[in-house]
Chains A and B, each alone.
Chain A
Amino acid sequence: MTGLAAAGDVLVGTPLQTTDWAFVWQNRGYLLQGATITIVLTVASILLGFLVGFPAGAIEHYGDGPLRSLVRGAGVVLRGTPILVIMIFAYFVLPLDWAFVLPVGDAFQAAVVALGLRSAAYQSQIFRGALGSIDAGQLEAARAVGFSRVGAIWNVAVPQALRRSVPGFQNEFTIVLKDTSIAFAIGLGELLKRSYDLMVSQTTAALELFLAISLVYFVLTFTTNRALDILSTRFAIPGGDD
């Protein structure tokens, strides 16, 4: 761990200093709070993305008329705009003040809205594709026993489409988790912002700080992906898709 420091002479900015690792360790509590904000932000954004993106995907696949055009249009705009622009827009332009509902700050709310809606635009495509891959004959068979169209979609297509969405969802989860770091731009004290602030107070610790938080990001993406793998296996249809 001491690396180059073992060579003897200590230069400011030399990587991997024992003292700099000690600085990271001293501030572990502060960084872990940042990691907690990152996790909560990810979960909230993914949840918003799911709640908006799933119906949006269903409307794109099954819907028609102006509603579908509207949903498609919104998706194209959100997918075509950089997340940084969406986030700055959400923070500085949208009049967000939900603090009376949730005791969280404006920056957090703006970050959830930005990441959540952008994620919805991508999640809608995951679900649209998955719903489209379900054989229409199954829906017709459900109609033939007396299900309404919505009942057939809900009871037959949705449970199968959710299973088929897991791989796409794993990517999306990873992307959202990593992109929470962009909330740095609107001053939200998530993991990256906190490590940056620490670096400003001890510039020699830059490498150590960013290595440490990279490890945190990696552990988070790795564990959630593994968890989704397990979920996918757990809910796999015995014998595979028919």
Chain B
Amino acid sequence: MSHQPPLLELRDVHKSFDNEEVLKGIDMSIERGDVEVLVGPSGSGKSTLLRCINRLTEIDRGQILLDGEDVAGPDVDVNELRQQVGMVFQDINLFAHLTARDNVTLGLRKVKGLDTEAARARAEDELRRVGLADQADSYPAQLSGGQKQRVGIARALAMDPKLLMFDEPTSALDPELSSSVLEVMEELVAEGMTMLVVTHEMRFARGAADRISFLDNGRIVERGPPAQLFETPEHERTRSFFESIASEA
């Protein structure tokens, strides 16, 4: 059998902001179809790690390989790279002046170069996939938080990413609105999408993750299948983190 490189590989990734090192040597690899959940206290570097992967932030040292190719390589067009790595934001960040449909078509038309009809058809497919076929003509301000975030997911999916990253997708939503977003994410897991998810939703992590990485203070403290981290963590720090999360929920 031919050997395929992991879809995503991080090698000794370092990143500092103003002399403060937020990532202190991260190693990680994610295979196709895997779901990796990143957990950790705020300020532990989770969001920065995601932003380094699609180069919204540039790393200082180390290497990030997507499909075996260095994302910071000299031949890499960063705008090409970003089409392959979808991102869903905590703040959702829908384009406020466009309908749900056009939030999805904008990238298809102007980045991928699809014609209006093809972009429209594709957008409607993606909106159907997230359960919002009937809201295609609504503007962001007319949608609930959960609906907006699902449009955000549709927008990312439409670009056909190899990897879909979620940065606390439900943290800005009321619990009852989160569930529709989590359901869509669970469907994507079932479809085999490769996902890297920063979240505090432990139910999602336990049910959907192939692996959980616990980040603290810029380092991966512990990484393993959900059962291991929830039930038999090796480190005291991991145990206390999951206990504090459980007591909040």
List residues of A whose CB falls within 8 A of some B CB.
135, 137-138, 140-148, 151, 155-156, 159-160, 163, 237-242
Cβ contacts under 8 Å, B54 to chain A: 144
Closest 6 CB pairs of A and B: A239-B141, A141-B93, A145-B107, A137-B93, A242-B140, A242-B96
Q: Which residue of A lies closest to B79 (CB)?
A: A146
**Contact of A238 (CB < 8 Å), options: B139, B148, B159:** B139
Cβ contacts under 8 Å, B142 to chain A: 238-239
Cβ contacts under 8 Å, B148 to chain A: 242
A-B contacts, 14 listed (Cβ < 8 Å): A135-B93, A137-B91, A141-B89, A144-B56, A144-B89, A144-B156, A145-B83, A146-B83, A156-B97, A159-B97, A238-B141, A238-B142, A242-B94, A242-B148
Cα(A237)–Cα(B99), bound, Å: 9
B227 touches A (CB below 8 Å):
no
Cα(A140)–Cα(B87), bound, Å: 10
Q: Which residue of B lies closest to A239 (CB)?
A: B141
Q: Which residue of B lies closest to A163 (CB)?
A: B97
- B50 → chain A closest CB, angstroms: 10
Cβ contacts under 8 Å, B96 to chain A: 135, 138, 160, 237, 241-242
The contact string, 1 if C-beta is below 8 Å from chain A, for chain B 83-101, is 1001101010111110000
B64 touches A (CB below 8 Å):
no
Cβ contacts under 8 Å, A146 to chain B: 79-80, 82-83, 107, 111-112, 159
Cα(A147)–Cα(B159), bound, Å: 12
- A155 → chain B closest CB, angstroms: 6
